Structure 1
Amino acid sequence: MGDTLQPSQRYEEIGRLLEHSGEMAVEEFAERLGVSRETIRRDLSRLDAMGKLRKFHGGARSVTRSGTTIEKEGPFAHRMAENAEAKNRIGKAASRLFARDDSLFIDTGSTTIAMAQALAKLQGLVVITNSPRIAATVADNASHKVFLIGGAYGADAGESLGALALEQIAKFRARHVVLTIGAIDATSIMDFDVQEAEIAKAMIERADRITVLADHSKFDRRAVFEVAPLSAIDTLVTNVRPSAAMVNALAAASVELIVAD
């Protein structure tokens, strides 16, 4: 099929595929169109330059999805469904970083919810979270001690936010903080919501080590609110090895990179 398509026809087909799926990997594009991955990478670069899509390492996503631009986040239920398999792999890999008697701040996110399911299979953790869903998931294992942060309720993601939540976070001290993020580039981790960014910053201040969970769609992306510089992160867990430039930036910042398989 791909050998008979002109570039303009491939561009149209790529656009159609993204309109349906929202996001797709290079390998899947190549298989669907019957061309090499290198051809797809060139096509994606050209379409990205034209503003037709957003290319990231390993694939591309639609510039618009359900009427929202790429530099915004969709509803939490939609984010839960996106890259679900990748998030489960990241969550399982991240859970292996922790052991009995570890204490963890965990913020609210689709990937940390996936991690909570893996944490429930461990023993003897202390978990402090602003997510009722994470709290309930981890508390299914009676060996864990769980503290649920209260505050103004954010109905979309089901999380506690605002001044009361920040005040309660300040009463705890934990060895680890595990964060999900909206975006990451070669300088910092970022979020799209100022209140969620404030929660993450407060947890960082009260923890010794920072672990960030980010699927491949978060790389080489920018959001409005900076959470922390890259140099503040201890460990980054993802599902696809980032670009060479990003790997170099992580190494320069002394960030341990874990790619879940």
Structure 2
Amino acid sequence: MQHSTRHQEILTLLARSGEMSVEALADQLQVSRETVRRDLARLDAAGRLRRFHGGAKAIAVPPPVMEKEWPFAQRMAQNAAGKKSIADAAAPLFQPDDSLFIDTGSTTVAFAEALAGARALVTITNSPRIAAMLAANHSHKVFLIGGAYGADAGESLGPLALEQIAKFRVRHAVLTIGAIDPTCVMDFDLQEAEVAKAMIERADRVTVLADHSKFERRAVFEVAPLSRVHTLVTDIAPTEPMAKAIEAAGIRQIVAGGN
């Protein structure tokens, strides 16, 4: 992990917890304590956190704000290890003969790669990349949704895609999202939000794959209330307020590598 990426991870963790010890940060980041100490010294000197003996604390915890989403190629590179851990934890949740919608996102691409070794799944996706990954396993049956082509993420969108989604009825919708707060899951793009909502409407159960950077963010377009989500798979446990909202909604939360 590059030091700039690690610095941002440290700031994100502190923003959620308020303060953390060197040992806890080293465990979360899977680096040495000495590396964490050097990072904390640099961030403290830059005025981005307050270091104390044995740990550090956030200078301030900002309120949720409307944010933007980075281009897809950049999102693919962000927290790649965390997304792979989410994918590896999510893939065993699905059994042979299960039917799945999978939407387009950097985390669902990692999920498709992890799912490719499973057997006899029926998958419907609006991502040619995901379809190709899964179709390489000849025991899978794969349906590729067509429509207007979104070049950034390489996906099918628009009225034609929504019309085709409505022709299916599946057991699971597996979705990536742009943001999640204590009330709902959201996306930054209207057409992507419409695809996710259409998949949810035609699925019995909804599984959301979201790395920790999505927690306590806000995006413009609501995809679904938390109560519509059955399972949430993430890489780092959320803060206590967010965790309580997830529990109150009756969501099964899986922290990759945790309990």
Q: Above 0.5 in TM-score?
A: yes
- Where 1:186 maps in the other structure, the secondary structure is coil
Residue equivalent to 2:8: 23
- Where 2:132 maps in the other structure, the secondary structure is helix
Measured after TM superposition, the shift of residue 39 of structure 1 is 5.3
Residue equivalent to 2:113: 117
Cα distance, 1:229–1:150 mapped onto 2, change above 3 Å: same
Alignment gaps of 5+ in structure 2: 14-24, 30-34, 42-50
User: Which residue, 162, 182, 185 being the options, matches 2:158?
Assistant: 162
Matched, 1:231 2:214: no
- Deviations, residues 199-241 of structure 1 (Å, cap 9, x unaligned): 0000000000000000000000000000000011000000001
Measured after TM superposition, the shift of residue 24 of structure 1 is 1.9
User: Which residue, 147, 171, 181 being the options, matches 2:143?
Assistant: 147
Measured after TM superposition, the shift of residue 40 of structure 1 is 2.9
Residue equivalent to 2:242: 246
**8 Å contact from structure 2 (residues 66, 217) kept in 1:** no
Alignment gaps of 5+ in structure 1: 1-16, 55-68
Measured after TM superposition, the shift of residue 193 of structure 1 is 0.2
Percent sequence identity is 62
User: Which residue, 175, 182, 190 being the options, matches 2:178?
Assistant: 182
Question: How far apart in 2 are the matches of 1:207 and 1:108?
Answer: 16
Question: How far apart in 2 are the matches of 1:36 and 1:169?
Answer: 54
Cα distance, 1:245–1:152 mapped onto 2, change above 3 Å: same
1:42 is matched by which residue type in structure 2? A
Q: Which moved more, 1:69-78 or 1:106-115?
A: 69-78
- Where 1:72 maps in the other structure, the secondary structure is coil
- Deviations, residues 114-169 of structure 1 (Å, cap 9, x unaligned): 00011100000000000000000011100000000000000000000000000000
**8 Å contact from structure 2 (residues 66, 218) kept in 1:** no
TM-score, normalisation: structure 2: 0.81
Residue equivalent to 2:125: 129
Question: How far apart in 1 are the matches of 2:185 and 2:197?
Answer: 11
TM-score, normalisation: structure 1: 0.81
- Where 1:23 maps in the other structure, the secondary structure is helix
Cα distance, 1:225–1:145 mapped onto 2, change above 3 Å: same
Residue equivalent to 2:199: 203
Question: How far apart in 2 are the matches of 1:98 and 1:193?
Answer: 28
**8 Å contact from structure 2 (residues 71, 152) kept in 1:** yes
Residue equivalent to 1:33: 40
Measured after TM superposition, the shift of residue 41 of structure 1 is 2.5
Residue equivalent to 1:14: none
- Residue correspondences, number: 224
Residue equivalent to 1:5: none
Measured after TM superposition, the shift of residue 30 of structure 1 is 4.6
Question: How far apart in 2 are the matches of 1:118 and 1:149?
Answer: 21
Question: How far apart in 2 are the matches of 1:239 and 1:245?
Answer: 17
Cα distance, 1:152–1:22 mapped onto 2, change above 3 Å: farther
- Where 1:73 maps in the other structure, the secondary structure is coil
